[in-house]
Amino acid sequence: TVVPKIAPSLLSGDFAKLASECQRMLDDGADYLHMDVMDGHFVPNLTLGAPIIKSLRPHTKGFLDCHLMVSHPEQWVDDFAKAGADLFCFHLEAAEDTSALVKKIHEKGMKAGIAVKPNTPIEDVFPYAGEADQILIMTVEPGFGGQAFMTSCIEKVRKLREKFPSLDIEVDGGLAPDTIDAAAEAGANVIVAGSSIFKADSPKDMIKLLRDRVQV
């Protein structure tokens, strides 16, 4: 059975005080800490890598939901496992051998996630959805926080939920009070939100609002 999980994206936080930003989000009710890893190649932006996860790990007990927007994700599995990542989510578009990569992530003791960009047909992920712990459906083009939610991606959530009733389905990009209902109604249960949570007057109230709208 799926349960709602809210995953604030630390990309919208202050990287200079990452540990306290993580603690603040957990205190405000976050279930996951969503860490956006970008390599300047798979996406046109650079953020953080395994060294930052490693430095952060002793400072938080939070579940580190690592979203790797990188080419050649295979090469980072060992480093992220050693750094203490809880979930390693790679992009289907970047993987050479998807099944082998899921297996390697599991062997290293992490949960495995598979992400798809807005233009990738959801059917492409069906063969692997039974092996993965979570599927991430991007609802913006990956690379930056603060972009507008793409309604065109909702149908992908619905199709995936129809086939996989108990799968953790994560949505990422533009989730806010005006878009959460569409995502939740289609079947998403893990909600990433960066700007809507960090820019809210009360991040705690925003996390609660998002969670209350998720239907299970």
* Closest CB 165 distance from ligand DX5, rounded Å: 25
Nearer to Zn ion, 101 or 175 (CB): 175
Decide: 113 and 136 in contact? Cβ < 8 Å. yes
Q: Which does 8 bind (CB under 5 to 8 A by kind): ligand DX5, Zn ion, none?
A: none
Q: Is 31 among the residues that bind Zn ion (CB under 5 A)? A: no
Nearer to ligand DX5, 99 or 202 (CB): 202
Strand partners, 7: 192
Q: How many CA atoms lie within 13 A of 84 on its CB side?
A: 14
Q: Is 5 among the residues that bind Zn ion (CB under 5 A)? A: no
Among 73, 113, 173, 203, which residue interacts with ligand DX5 (rule: CB under 6 A)? 173
Distance, in Å, from the CA atom of 27 to the CA atom of 149, rounded to the nearest integer, reads: 27
Strand partners, 111: 87
Distance, in Å, from the CA atom of 214 to the CA atom of 169, rounded to the nearest integer, reads: 12
Q: Residues binding ligand DX5: what is the number (CB under 6 A)?
A: 22
Which of 49, 39, 103 lies closest to 71, judged by CA?
A: 39
Cβ neighbors of 107 (< 8 A, separation 6 or more) are: none
Among 5, 67, 156, 211, which residue interacts with ligand DX5 (rule: CB under 6 A)? 67
For this structure, is 36 an active site residue?
Answer: yes
Nearer to ligand DX5, 18 or 107 (CB): 18
Q: Is 13 among the residues that bind ligand DX5 (CB under 6 A)? A: no
Q: Does residue 41 have a known ligand-binding role? A: no
CA 55 to chain centre: 20
Cβ neighbors of 81 (< 8 A, separation 6 or more) are: 88, 105, 108, 109, 110
* The two three-digit tokens of residue 183, written as one number: 């995502």
Among 21, 28, 36, 168, which residue interacts with Zn ion (rule: CB under 5 A)? 36
Q: Does residue 195 have a known ligand-binding role? A: yes
Neighbours of 143 (CB within 10 A): 17
Q: Does residue 146 have a known ligand-binding role? A: yes
Per-residue contact string for residues 21-60; x = within reach of ligand DX5 by CB under 6 A: -------------x-x------------------------
Residues with catalytic annotation? 36, 172
Binding-site sequence positions for a divalent metal cation = 34, 36, 67, 172
Residues that bind ligand DX5 (CB under 6 A): 9, 11-12, 34, 36, 67, 140, 142-147, 172-175, 192-196
